Amino acid sequence: MMTEADVAARVQEHFGTAVLDTYTFRGQCSVTVAPGSLRAVLMFLRDQLGFEWLMDVGGVDYLGYDERDWRFEVVYQMLSMANNVRFRVKVAVADESTEVPTVYDLWAIANWEEREVWDMYGIVFTGHPNLRRILCHDEFVGHALRKDYPITRRQKLSAPSENILCETSDIA
């Protein structure tokens, strides 16, 4: 039976210096990788270790939290149903270069999840076919979950979004 620690060790062994950090908290293991290694690590997990499900993609803003070399992380929650193991892959994203390659072509569910992370944190998923707002309106300025976004800032929606308009014949 494979454990999360076994998975972390296999990833570390296979990718070496591409793994920036490994972390274990309360029995849950994760690895942090650079954006350039993301697709290779996720395909290794899927194709070699049986992590067939991408459960979630989320963002984290560490502004003012600690002295790490990157501000953001994009977190991928993976699941191997055959081994009953979950595993987390984090991608370190510098403040100056908020770009991560899309994994939409590997898991279609990443379409919506990457759009949500972009909308809330401003992290660009290069190669994504339809990166546009999903939670905020089109005229929204900024990214609401960034820690430097002013909490008291108010924004007025002056026009309906074309993204949500539909004809009654389009509703099934």
Q: What is the pTM of this model?
A: 0.86
Whichever domain contains 68, its CATH number is: 3.30.460.80
Closest to 59 in 3D by CA, of 124, 141, 151 = 124
- Model confidence at 68, pLDDT cuts 50, 70, 90, reads confident
Domain assignment of residue 164, yes or no: no
The answer to whether residue 163 is domain-embedded is: no
166 inside domain:
no
Concatenating the DSSP letter of every residue in 92-148 gives EE-SS--EEE--TTT-TTHHHHHHHHHHHH--EEET-TT---SSS-TT--S-TTSTT
Mean pLDDT of 36-57: 96
- CA–CA gap between residue 19 and residue 8 (Å, rounded): 10
Residue 171 placed within a domain: no
Q: Which one-letter amino acid corresponds to residue 148?
A: D
| Assigned domain for 172 exists | no
Provide the pLDDT confidence category of residue 101 given band limits of 50, 70 and 90. very high
Q: What is the pLDDT of residues 129-146, one digit of tens each?
A: 989 888 887 777 788 888
Is position 169 within any domain? Answer: no
pLDDT on residue 170? 47
- Give the chain's domain count: 1
In a domain, 48, yes or no: yes
Q: Domain range holding 101?
A: 4-155
